[in-house]
Amino acid sequence: MTERMESVEQAVDAVIEKTAGKIRLAMPLGLGKPNRFVNALYRRVEQDASLSLDIFTALSLGRPSAGSDLEKRFLEPFADRVFGDYEELAYLKPAKKSALPANIRVFEFFFQPGSMLGSASAQQHYISSNYTHVARDLNARRINVVAQLLAHRNVEGNDEYSFACNPEVTLDLMPLLLARREAGETILSVGQVHKDLPFMENDARVADWLPHMDMVVDDPDAHTRLFSTPNMPVNVQDHFVGLHASTLVRDGGTLQIGIGALGDALVHHLRLRDQDNERYLRPLAEWGLPDSQQEMIDREGGTGVFAEGLYGCSEMVTHGLLQLVQDGIIRRPVYDWEPLQQLEMHEPNQPGLALLDVLREQSAISRRLDRSQIRTLKRFGIFRDGVRKQGDMLELPNGVQVANDLDDRATREALKAVLGDRLSGGIVMHGGFFLGPAAFYERLRNLTDEQRAAINMTRISYVNHLYGDEALKRLQRQDARFVNTAFTVTLLGAGVADQIDDGRVLSGVGGQYNFVSQAHELAGARSILMVRAWRERASEAMSNVVFGYGHNTIPRHLRDVVVTEYGVADLRGKSDEEVIMAMLNVSDSRFQISLMEEAQAVGKLRKDYQIPEAHRRNNPEHLHEIAERCGAKSFPLFPLGSDFTDTEQRLLKALTWLKEKVGHKEFLKLGRQALFHEGSESDFAAELDRMGLKEPAGVKEHLYQRLLLTALEAAS
């Protein structure tokens, strides 16, 4: 029986008592953590050395922290506004400092990117696991408590619950835990209700699992602000990566993307492609696509509007994907009945006698319908509600009875009155978890019933795996484009996305490998890795395309498509030399010669090879010229909206410029120059006021003011 509680402390008492104080707690990744419960549990264990707590989770989210005083001046007021009373995870700061109590350990399989590079404890306790294997691996660690945030609603006096943002691992893990419980082990399940969490339907509904949940806690003090991830700026470099990737998405196909500025850029250009095609095509024409890239677009993708629409299948449902759903770009429904999905493909079938006949030809239904077949036909809208089997007869909603025989002429005529108007039960988006800005959660809460029903948050093994329901997935995931990001790629086509070369983990593998390998197994699918060709730090440009790297997330034998701001490299089935040539073509021209010479020195590229003339203009200046000619509507800084005010957006650009241009050694040099800078305070009064530097007090604040003015002018 599920026990309802009004205090997390009650739940903590029960967990400690029933586990004898030896707690191995699993929580979902990201938003789905029950922060109030886990913090109460953490404090209790922290204060009692006889207890022990191992936490297994991923993506523990914390408010952003600032480094310099200038960053603090910008970030703290913004964070207070956006995060409000969000309850921080009590274990997060000690974990970052490797200062957890001796009786508490935290194991994660995915970090908030870059947040744990300096934590020896976090690095030592990182678990490298494909997303689809997490439930298996958690069970192998003998998890005895699973806890999660739940959405709640009351319908006609009945309480209903949803796993909402995070059914992905829970739905795979629960059967494993229940099997252990039935074998006699103590396994506890705790749900913490949050009133603002969007309620999601379909597989995310807790109805089937509620009898197995031991505690549902609705603590009145636990309804603090949900964690959100504000949209970050999309610069010109990011836009061109997204623009090139958008040309590879085929109408009528399947789309998966990840979070971040590159994903936002891709979404923006897909929207332009559909809603303002002339504007969309202009930068492509200005760039001048090479013949090989145009041939690939014609063969694999497209640049026209989405006449058929897309189906979304992504481990993470982002604000950008939801925007594509609401724009009607993601609208191709899929059905979890293989015979119907086989018929759907590109030509949607409407309910009718002809559809019944085709289903019979597939042996999906029989001449004389059984009760299970009738339920299925009603579920998908082929029959209206009210059709029932009564002995050898079919009873129709109007009380008429006809022979249960689809070959009977009178039956066929009578069935015309009970056929549905359109198919139902179609899903346009399958997802594992969601996370995004506050406006994204608001849009999810405001979905119509029909829109909500078309989104199925489900188990990660369904979304990320091809195996299990494989025949159905192959039908649904036609022309799939799995679009992910990397921070480095090698000339031989390997991708690096989770770990730097000294072994420290930046983020995690997550589901990237799952989608890449899936792309090689599905007919018509492609894996697309988006990467910026170069980065800048302390005024020094560095190539993100390298000859070799000490670690690979995606091995080169799974290389497929790499997209940079300079174009598309098709690597599938190519020889090493051909791959190197393709990667050089999408590298930044400042590094092409040195990269080419590295490949030639080890015999991977013929000595007389030269970079084609068409690819020698790969430089930021060329991109910015095109962007300026095409205008801000083609390349907006925040294409999907922003939590930043206009003043903060200008400040963000300036502070980003300052961080990129200035290293520690050069900071004082720039500071001396800034002291004598002639920038006008009146031109940037709002920005200085926002940073508390309108009337600087003392030498330090005066220096900050002049540095900021220098950066504002440079970035404007």
Kindly state the DSSP code that residue 110 receives in the 8-state scheme.
S
- CA-wise closest residue to 38 among 161, 190, 174: 190
Which residues neighbour 303 within 8 Å (Cβ) at sequence distance 6 or greater?
A: 247, 273, 277, 280, 281, 284, 297
Question: What digits encode the pLDDT tens for the residues 80-139?
Answer: 999 999 999 999 999 999 999 999 999 999 999 999 999 999 999 999 999 999 999 999
Question: What digits encode the pLDDT tens for the residues 173-222?
Answer: 999 999 999 999 999 999 999 999 999 999 999 998 888 999 999 999 99
Report the percent of the chain where pLDDT is more than 70. Answer: 96
Three-state helix/strand/coil letters over 110-148? CCCCCCCCCCHHHHHCECCCCHHHHHHHHHHCCCCEEEE
Which amino acid is present at 598? E
Kindly state the DSSP code that residue 556 receives in the 8-state scheme.
G
Q: Say how far apart CA 271 and CA 268 lie, in whole Å.
A: 5
Q: Flag whether pLDDT at 346 surpasses 60.
A: no
Structural domains of the chain in order of their starting residue, each with its CATH number: 3-217 (3.40.1080.10), 236-334+428-622 (3.40.1080.20), 338-415 (no CATH), 646-715 (no CATH)
Which residues partner with 147 through β-bridges?
190
SS3 100: coil
Residues in the chain: 716
Q: Higher confidence at residue 624 or residue 668?
A: 624
How high does pLDDT run on average in the chain?
94
SS3 549: coil
| Kind of pairing between the strands at 145-155 and 104-108 | unpaired
Which residues partner with 161 through β-bridges?
152
How many other C-beta atoms lie within 10 A of the C-beta of residue 80?
11
Model-level pTM? 0.94
**Average confidence (pLDDT) over 508-523:** 95
| pLDDT category of residue 66 using cuts at 50, 70 and 90 | confident
Res 667: pLDDT: 54
